[in-house]
């Protein structure tokens, strides 16, 4: 049988609380008594109080729960997620706090179990749909929350660190429209979650995932201002946010009559896949087909990718600071960060107009 606090107390003829104090409140004991207790613990094979149980008793575990989608691997493979988590980790480690990565299964009952069983002091919601039933449990936990998507999803008490997704996408759309493009495709992930990669007929106002919806709606706003009817735009779902699906989605815009002269995407990763598809077909980005991304990840500049730059590491760091050192004024817990349009070689004038 494994040794316990009571085993040591019985061995030395002292109370269980006295043994506990040797670990948690050593100032309450004489150095001689504490030395006897620790020597007995070593002799009996007792390694110390359970750290998780001790943390729960004092009501703090020094951990932030980072709630992701059902695909936990994105924390290690998605370039933007990696940068965001780096910033979050910097803020956490500076305050002797850890990160607990939590996947959120599609099954809502399983998601509730994940949230209920998480021993954390706060939640950082990254890429989580605001309609998932497990979010009600998070609200009920009564711990600090920071979100990065819909700022109204949790009400005024939740912290928010994000960008104006729709306005940023509108800048990209306006850039493409100003270059004279009218045969346009939009590649977006999670238009249809769990669906296949390919064209979809979807109303931008009905898209359920906040970031995808806001970016697609921003593109539509820009096209409407330029007199380009949305019905003319080819909307393509990418089943996953990776280069392979970006290339597969691009095929639907490139291998058809009336080939698109511009392809806008909702992430740099998808845009890099589109560039792969152009390369295979001998097409030149910015000359034959213009391509835009979103995020400005490290690979964007070497690829010459036109994109929206947003502060990924800083965004994560600020989220961590809001969770661990929240301002008393709720208004200061809402941070909308600036972005910039970065124009590079992958966008250029509509080649059809150039030939006229």
Give the three-state DSSP class for 301: coil
Whole-model pTM?
Answer: 0.83
pLDDT at 97: 95
pLDDT at 22: 83
Confidence label for 195 from pLDDT (cuts 50, 70 and 90): confident
Q: Report, as an integer, the average pLDDT of 318-346.
A: 94
d(CA 236, CA 202): 10
* Residue with the two structure tokens 């909702």: 266
Q: Which of 97, 90, 159 is nearest to 327 (CA)?
A: 159
Task: Say yes or no to pLDDT of 62 above 50.
Answer: yes
d(CA 22, CA 38): 7
- C-beta separation of 77 from 110 below 8 A: no
SS3 for 49-65 is: CCHHHHHHHHCCCCEEE
Per-residue tokens: 292: 């835009």
- C-beta separation of 286 from 312 below 8 A: no
More confident residue, 64 or 108: 64
d(CA 241, CA 246): 7
pLDDT at 113: 84
pLDDT digit string, tens, across residues 247-295: 999 999 999 998 999 999 999 999 999 999 999 999 999 999 999 999 9
pLDDT at 277: 98
- C-beta separation of 40 from 98 below 8 A: no
> 6-10, 205-209, 301-305, 351-355: which range is least confident on average?
351-355
Average model confidence (pLDDT) for the chain?
A: 90
pLDDT digit string, tens, across residues 135-175: 888 887 888 999 999 888 777 888 999 999 999 999 999 99
pLDDT at 138: 84
Count CB-CB contacts under 10 A for residue 330: 13
**H-type alpha helices, 255-311:** 268-280
How many alpha carbons fall within 13 Å on the CB side of residue 5? Answer: 14
Which domains occur in the chain, in start order?
A: 5-49 (1.10.260.40), 63-161+312-336 (3.40.50.2300), 165-311+340-355 (3.40.50.2300)
């Amino acid at each position: 049988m494994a040794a316990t606090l009571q085993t040591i107390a019985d061995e030395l003829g002292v109370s269980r609380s006295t043994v506990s104090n040797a670990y948690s409140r050593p100032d309450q004991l004489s150095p001689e008594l504490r030395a006897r207790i620790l020597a007995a613990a070593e002799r009996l094979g007792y390694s110390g109080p359970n750290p998780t149980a001790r943390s729960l008793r004092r009501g703090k575990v020094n951990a932030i729960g980072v709630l992701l989608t059902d695909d936990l691997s994105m924390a290690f493979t998605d370039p933007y997620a990696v940068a965001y988590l780096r910033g979050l980790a910097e803020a956490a480690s500076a305050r002797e706090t850890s990160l607990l990565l939590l996947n959120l299964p599609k099954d809502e009952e399983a998601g509730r179990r994940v949230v209920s069983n998480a021993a954390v002091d706060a939640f950082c919601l990254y890429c989580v749909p605001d309609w998932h039933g497990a979010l009600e449990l998070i609200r009920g936990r009564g711990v600090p929350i920071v979100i990065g998507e819909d700022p109204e999803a949790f009400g005024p008490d939740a912290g928010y660190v994000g960008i104006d997704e729709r306005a940023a996408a509108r800048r990209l759309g306006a850039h493409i429209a100003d270059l004279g493009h009218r045969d346009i495709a939009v590649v977006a992930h999670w238009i249809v979650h769990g669906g296949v990669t390919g064209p979809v007929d979807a109303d931008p106002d009905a898209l359920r995932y906040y970031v995808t919806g806001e970016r697609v709606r921003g593109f539509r706003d820009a096209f409407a201002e330029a007199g380009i009817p949305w019905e003319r735009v080819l909307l393509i779902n990418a089943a996953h946010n990776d280069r392979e699906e970006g290339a597969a989605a691009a095929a639907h815009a490139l291998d058809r009559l009336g080939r698109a002269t511009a392809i806008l995407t909702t992430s740099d990763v998808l845009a890099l896949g589109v560039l792969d598809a152009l390369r295979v077909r001998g097409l030149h980005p910015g000359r034959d087909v213009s391509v835009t991304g979103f995020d400005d990840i490290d690979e964007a500049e070497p690829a010459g990718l036109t994109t929206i730059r947003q502060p990924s590491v800083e965004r994560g760091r600020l989220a961590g600071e809001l969770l661990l050192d929240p301002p008393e004024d709720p208004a200061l817990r809402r941070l909308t960060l600036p972005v910039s349009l970065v124009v590079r070689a992958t966008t250029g004038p509509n080649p059809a107009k150039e030939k006229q």
